[in-house]
Amino acid sequence: MNVTLYGAGGNRTVRCLWTLDEAGVEYTFIDRDDLASREELRRFHPLAKVPVAVIDGQTLFESAAICTYIADRVPDADLISRPGTIARAEHDQWVAFCLTEMEAWLWNSAVNTFVLPEEQRISAGLEQNAEMFKRSASVLDAHLAGHDYLVEDRFTVTDIIVGWCLNWGRRQGLLGERPALGRYLERLMTRPHCSLARD
pTM attached to this predicted model: 0.95
* Helix 157-171 vs helix 126-144: crossing angle, to nearest 10: 140
From CA 154, how far away is CA 50, in angstroms rounded?
A: 29
Question: Which residues in the chain are classed under CATH 1.20.1050.10?
Answer: 86-189
Q: Quick check: helix, strand or coil at residue 33? A: helix
Average model confidence (pLDDT) across the chain: 95
Dihedral (Cα; 61, 94, 111, 174), 10-degree rounding: -150
**Alpha carbon distance 170, 183 (integer Å):** 12
- Summarize the confidence of residues 111-135 as an average pLDDT: 96
Query: Architecture of domain 86-189 in CATH?
Result: Up-down Bundle (1.20)
pLDDT in the model for residue 9: 76
Per-residue pLDDT, 117: 94
Q: Which helix (H) or strand (E) holds 7?
A: strand 3-7
Helix (H, G, I), strand (E, B) or coil at 145: coil
Per-residue pLDDT of 42-93, as tens digits, reads 888 998 889 999 999 999 999 999 999 999 999 999 999 999 999 999 999 9
CATH number for the domain whose boundaries are 3-77:
3.40.30.10
The pLDDT assigned to 36 comes to: 56
Indicate where the chain has its CATH 3.40.30.10 domain(s).
3-77
Each residue of 138-180: pLDDT tens digit? 999 999 999 999 999 999 999 999 999 999 999 999 999 999 9
Looking at residue 33, its pLDDT comes to 72
The pLDDT tens digits for 24-45 are: 999 999 987 766 567 778 888 9
Alpha carbons 78 and 143: distance in angstroms, whole number: 22
Helix or strand run (H / E) with residue 41: helix 38-42
pLDDT tens-place string over residues 187-198: 999 999 999 998
Report the SS3 class of residue 98: helix
- In whole angstroms, give the CA distance from residue 16 to residue 161: 9
119 to 4, 105, 113, 116, 137: CA distances (angstroms):
36, 20, 11, 8, 31
Q: Report the C-alpha gap between 118 and 7 in whole angstroms.
A: 25
